[in-house]
Structure 1
């Protein structure tokens, strides 16, 4: 396996507490999360006719931002860690 892939996999596992922290910031409880995920997979026109268009947009955005922030944490840590490793190798 490539060393970079191993580093990324280790970061994914070590960041589980970060994911949980972000989860608590974005969602009130498990039901809130499940409803938000439901809106991600519900077409907008269906939500529009149900009268839930803006709730759909907001909840979909929360899920997307949660995923984005989790991914950004891994990318930022990987960049910093690779710079530290490069510094000590040279």
Structure 2
């Protein structure tokens, strides 16, 4: 139990730092992130007719990779914590 009290807050703190690194890697600033979110809700067909199809696909890819890396990080940490708890 004491192990969880120490590890969980530490992992949350490390996650926030790591997610910020991921964010800075994929997005130039908050406007770039909001543009990626906007393009993820716009159907590709509309972007094609507007002439923004490539920009749309790139924005969706960046957002998808950011979310994917965040989820994979959490999954790896949960499996590591489960492994540590099984030792005790």
- TM normalised by structure 2 equals 0.82
Cross-structure match for 1:4? none
Q: Report how many residues are paired.
A: 82
Q: 1:37 and 2:37 equivalent?
A: yes
Mapped to 2, the partners of 1:36 and 1:85 lie a distance apart of: 39
Give, in angstroms, the shift of residue 55 of structure 1: 0.9
Report which stretch shifted further, 10-19 or 24-33: 10-19
Moved over 3 A (4+): 7-14
Q: CA RMSD in A?
A: 2.1
Q: CA deviation at 1:14?
A: 5.0
Question: 1:57: which partner in 2?
Answer: 57
CA distance in 1, matches of 2:43, 2:10: 36
Report 1:58-73 matches (<5 A).
58-73=58-73
Pairing 1:1-90 to 2, within 5 Å after superposition: 11=11, 15-88=15-88
CA distance in 2: counterparts of 1:78 and 1:15, whole angstroms:
12
* Contact 1:12/1:74 (8 A) holds in 2: no
Q: Distance in 2 between matches of 1:29 and 1:10?
A: 26
